[in-house]
A and B are shown apart, each in its own frame.
Chain A
Amino acid sequence: MTELVDCFRGQVFGLCYRMLGHRQDAEDVTQESFVRALRSLARWDNQRDFRPWLLAIAANRCRSLLATRRNVPKPSSEVEELPDARSFREERHVGEEVSLALARLREEYRQAFVLFHEQELTYAEIAEVLDCPVGTVKTWVHRARRDLAEHLRRRGFVKESSDAV
């Protein structure tokens, strides 16, 4: 059991962290996902890959938590707007900006994007995890990319240059 958890905890935690944007919540949901997966291990079809099945459980737990969060009104301090890009552009790393933009994406886009780019799942595996058609997953990933790229452009992270790509 320990080996199994060690093998997949990074991926599950990574997905949860990306989905929830909160370290403690991500830890809790990771733990809950593993416990659920281990408890219902008998229902896992061993002809199929274990990782998408486990990530699907984690994704569902994240969605549930996000749904409960939506029902709780946020305190005003949490919904403050982003600071001006010019004053923070130099200090902020582009990675942090991507992370920030990711957190503002639509839930489906973010999940699909993270599963593709960070967990490196194939489109078919993501479709299995999210329980939707492959075409829909592709659309979500493409829209997530477009939104992220646009966010970076708006925030001035794309340097003007006459050179080629």
Chain B
Amino acid sequence: MDKHNIILIAHGQFEKGFLSEIAEEVALEYSCSVGIQESQLDLMNFYDPSRRQYDGYKLLKEIEGMNIAGYNKKIGLFRVDLFIPILTYIFGQAFFKGNSGIASLYRLKNEQYGMQADQDLLFHRFRKVIIHEIGHTFGLIHCHVPNCVMRSSTYVEDIDQKRHHLCSKCLNEIAEFKI
């Protein structure tokens, strides 16, 4: 078994084949096995009526507490709007050098910005956010290389600017981390 196995924990309904394609991409990027699991978590416990959003901080803690045999990195995938107490929204978050992260496709949808739905674009964006958050669990900080997936993105347009791959510098750092 690989040293690092990643499990994608899906909360809510995703298109058929959508997650398996992402899992394949993640596996390629990090050279490890990636599994998918559906979660039965009741998201209403994480809903904040005053903000009409879901508490990403609590969800991240919940994911961290999950014990899934055979996998040591757990990434929660959501369709709902996430926030953390200090920020108005997040695309995703992870524990730095930790074992868990979260990502949501809610704010990645074109429809949120008054544009036509684009399933392909959504897939590309979601894939980048997931690979980015996993990078943080490996201890990668935000990268200054413009098209590196670890570049900081606060707007959805920033995500579109970068590729879904790690730059050579980040790959080297990951290699050191894995050793």
Please determine whether chains A and B interact with each other in the same assembly: no
